[in-house]
A and B are shown apart, each in its own frame.
Chain A
Amino acid sequence: MHELSIACEIFEQVKLTAETHGATEVKHVTLQMGRLSHTNPEQLGFCFKVLAEGSIAEKAEFIVEMMPLSLECECGYAGTVDEKQIHENNGLKSELLAYVAAIECPVCGKPAHITGGRELIIKSIEIETEEDQAAASNNT
């Protein structure tokens, strides 16, 4: 269970960035998570929600975008793994196992080096500022 410590880091970064930009509320938090990261998106979202209680991010929607694996091969190939192809070619039941076992270069077939897929990136946040709220109330 390391989702809580990761969620703490995310919450701190989100809060810091939001406050620096004069936010009164955080509406969305968007993450990008590599397929090989050993982190559970639902648990992470739950931990974030608990941490954000009573803060400006309390009502934020927590969005996780999954990122494909990227490879590099001796033959010069560099690219991402075609997820659909992995599922079609692989009889293995575990999704994670399929990702790991099928890491062969799509060009030459040799085992390729994994260059991406374990990242966990806070991509962006969407915030509302005091001015936004004032503008909104003027319009009504």
Chain B
Amino acid sequence: MLMHVIHMGHDVFKANDKIAEKNRKVLNKHGVFSVNVMGAIGSGKTTLIEEAIKHLKDRYRIAVIAGDVIAEMDASRFRKLGVPTIPVNTGKECHLDAKLVEKALGEIDLDNTDLLIIENVGNLICPVDFKLGEHLRVVIVSVTEGDDIILKHPVIFKTSELAVINKVDIADAVDVDAEKMKEDILSLNPDVPVILTSKHDWESLETWISFIELGLKKSTEQF
């Protein structure tokens, strides 16, 4: 029987990448530096973002996209700090994609924004495949996930530009070696900056915040 083979060559992720590129252009045009914060559930993403907002909001105009299965909970935490926040409900989906971010960007006053923080859904797997148009990809894990968490999820650590190991103050209590976690990250991605943080250690939070500010300053020069 005669049959027709039709060559398509349609890359599903490229379709997302294209929208991500468009998002990046929109952000660049408005001079907005954006950070995609990925990480495990309960790793402290929201808390670390809150700390960054508290200490940067007097100098920079900040907006947040809070992505979650039910996004309103985190969004209300950010709003309390006085920054415009767009909750993006992903429903049953496990990650934000470029299309969702594109839609959210339409609701943000980009002309009056310097820094856009995007909190991704708590997950070390699904967000990896979906670029959003961000300038900096951050991955956050905490010691409570166990010190084998990194080698179990290698791709997210390989493709991130900043890695944070959080809650190091309770490492002993959960029998985890934070230094081993750092070594594992560096074995996968030798050039990535790795920072160890705890919400009770201001110096460590300062390092985290300074990385965001550094990226912000660097990219502002390029806009």
Q: Is the beta-carbon distance between A119 and B13 smaller than 8 angstroms?
A: yes
- Which one of A9, A118, A132 lies within 8 Å of B3 (CB-CB)? A132
A42 within 8 A of B: no
Q: How large is the interface on A (under 10, 10 to 19, 20 to 34, 35 or more residues)?
A: 35 or more
Q: Roughly how many angstroms separate A2 CA and B127 CA in the complex, as a whole number?
A: 10
Residue-wise interface mask of A (9-37) relative to B, using a CB-CB cutoff of 8 A (1 in contact, 0 not): 11001100110010100010000000011
A97 within 8 A of B: yes
Using Cβ atoms and an 8 Å threshold, which residues of chain A touch B7? 123-124
B125 within 8 A of A: yes
Known: A6-B12, A119-B11. A101 touches B2 (CB 8 A): no
Closest Cβ–Cβ distance, residue B31 to chain A (whole Å): 28
Closest Cβ–Cβ distance, residue B183 to chain A (whole Å): 13
Secondary structure of the A contact surface, majority rule? mixed
Residues of chain A from 101 to 140 with CB closer than 8 A to chain B in the complex: 101, 103, 111, 114, 118-129, 132, 135-136
A50 within 8 A of B: no
Known: A2-B95, A111-B190. A118 touches B126 (CB 8 A): no
Most buried by A among B3, B6, B15, B190: B6
Q: Roughly how many angstroms separate A94 CA and B188 CA in the complex, as a whole number?
A: 13
Q: Which 5 A-B pairs have the closest CB atoms?
A: A100-B154, A122-B10, A120-B12, A2-B126, A121-B11
22 contacts between A and B (CB under 8 A): A1-B92, A1-B94, A2-B93, A2-B129, A6-B12, A9-B12, A13-B10, A18-B6, A37-B13, A38-B125, A97-B151, A97-B154, A101-B188, A111-B190, A120-B12, A121-B9, A122-B12, A124-B6, A125-B5, A128-B1, A128-B3, A132-B2
Chain A contact residues, CB within 8 Å of chain B? 1-2, 4-6, 9-10, 13-14, 17-18, 21, 23, 27, 36-39, 94, 96-97, 100-101, 103, 111, 114, 118-129, 132, 135-136
Given known contacts A1-B126, A101-B187, A132-B3, what 11 new A-B pairs fall within 8 Å (CB)?
A1-B94, A10-B12, A38-B128, A38-B129, A94-B152, A96-B154, A101-B154, A114-B158, A123-B8, A126-B3, A127-B4
